[in-house]
């Protein structure tokens, strides 16, 4: 098994076998991110991909799911994805789901027919770093799309039958703007059908554009209590049946639950967290 780049996957994919499909990130401009800053984007050669699949087959031949690594494997063209999906089919006959990271931009580059064909090939689970659906926040973060694009492209996935998970980045709006960001994003989410809503919390990364803005006084980070309050507003406004996962290391208060069933418990925990962090003036 060969890995030439940094390997990262969402917490909810921690038990899924992985194969390197791409390295780096094809976009590489997000103002808050330095995860792949030292790696150029590249696509793993098909021959190597097939050898790695042979190794997966040797150790977990009955796996029903596989995760393709890299910051944006869905950036690959339809034909490149098709060839890799067929390689999975040829070796892992019980595999029903090929999962990977994708961006809103990647989805927009695929036609409706291509999306349907990929779904038929079991490319049926995408994790999208949405971060927000508020235009001003997306612009500052240099995501390269607007809130309406999140809505349009995720609805295309709904129509194609491709499941998707969305990542929301609390604190990205900055101090005093979290509630507005949460309400604006919730209005978009309520028109979509994500399977998992993953919550991360902003941490300024050394060398990131957002850290430079903060040092220049152009961006004021939200406090812990503000970020928890932002998540409270998001949960209050979201009217979805969705699994919520806010358990990564960046979250000041780990939370996992099913909405709407666990909403009262989750919101009560957030209220307590806001009260405690405000009392501690913890930033």
Strands (DSSP E) found in 12-108: 18-20, 22-23, 42-43, 65-69, 97-102
Residue 6 covered by a domain: no
Structural domains counted in the chain: 1
pLDDT at 279: 66
Q: Which domain holds residue 96?
A: 11-278
Q: What is the mean pLDDT of the chain?
A: 94
pLDDT at 282: 44
Q: Is the alpha carbon torsion for 221, 225, 229, 235 positive or negative?
A: positive
pLDDT at 281: 55
Task: Select from 23, 35, 103, 104 the least CA-distant residue to 70.
Answer: 23
Q: How far is CA 91 from CA 52, 54, 62, in A?
A: 11, 7, 10
Q: Tell me what the mean pLDDT of segment 109-128 comes to.
A: 98
pLDDT at 149: 98
Residue 75 covered by a domain: yes
pLDDT at 11: 87
Largest CA distance in the chain: 58
Residue 175 covered by a domain: yes
Residue 67 predicted with pLDDT over 80: yes
| Report field, pTM of the whole predicted structure over 0.75 | yes
Q: Which two tokens stand for residue 27?
A: 């976009």
CATH of the domain at 118: 3.20.20.70
Residue 145 covered by a domain: yes
Residue pLDDT, tens place only, 259-269 = 999 999 999 99
pLDDT at 134: 98
Q: What are the respective helix, strand and coil percentages of the chain, to the nearest 5? A: 40, 20, 40
Residue 255 covered by a domain: yes
Residue 62 predicted with pLDDT over 50: yes
Residue 5 covered by a domain: no
pLDDT at 7: 77
pLDDT at 280: 64
Q: In what order do the strands lie in the sheet with 65-69?
A: 18-20, 65-69, 97-102, 123-131, 163-170, 196-201, 242-246, 255-259
Would you give the DSSP letter of residue 248?
A: S
Residue 43 covered by a domain: yes
Residue 3 covered by a domain: no
Q: Are 169 and 213 spatial neighbours (Cβ–Cβ below 8 Å)?
A: no
Q: How confident is the model at residue 222 (pLDDT cuts 50, 70, 90)?
A: very high
Beta pairing class for 242-246 and 196-201: parallel
Q: Which residue has the higher pLDDT, 36 or 42?
A: 42
Residue 3 predicted with pLDDT over 90: no
């Amino acid at each position: 098994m060969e890995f030439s780049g940094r390997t990262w996957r969402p917490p909810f994919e921690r038990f899924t076998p992985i194969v390197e499909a791409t390295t780096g990130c094809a976009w590489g401009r997000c103002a808050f991110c330095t995860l792949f800053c030292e790696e150029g984007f590249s696509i793993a050669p098909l021959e190597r991909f097939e050898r790695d699949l042979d190794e997966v087959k040797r150790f977990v031949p009955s796996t029903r799911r596989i995760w393709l690594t890299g910051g944006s494997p869905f950036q690959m063209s339809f034909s490149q994805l098709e060839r890799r999906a067929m390689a999975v089919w040829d070796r892992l006959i019980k595999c029903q789901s090929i999962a990977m990271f994708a961006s809103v931009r990647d989805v927009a580059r695929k036609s409706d027919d291509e999306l349907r064909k990929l779904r038929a090939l079991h490319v049926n689970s995408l994790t999208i770093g949405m971060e927000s659906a508020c235009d001003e926040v997306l612009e500052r973060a240099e995501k390269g799309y607007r809130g309406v694009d999140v809505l349009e492209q995720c609805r295309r996935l709904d129509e194609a039958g491709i499941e998707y998970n969305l990542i929301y980045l609390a604190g990205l709006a900055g101090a005093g703007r979290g509630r507005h960001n949460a309400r604006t994003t919730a209005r978009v989410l309520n028109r979509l059908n994500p399977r998992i809503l993953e919550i991360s919390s902003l941490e300024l990364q050394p060398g990131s554009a957002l850290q430079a803005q903060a040092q220049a006084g152009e961006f004021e980070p939200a406090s812990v209590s503000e970020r928890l309050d932002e998540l409270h507003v998001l949960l209050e406004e979201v009217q979805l049946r969705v699994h919520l996962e806010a358990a990564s290391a960046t979250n000041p208060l780990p939370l996992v639950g099913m909405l709407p069933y666990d909403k009262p418990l989750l919101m009560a925990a957030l209220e307590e967290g806001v009260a405690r962090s405000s009392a501690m003036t913890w930033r």
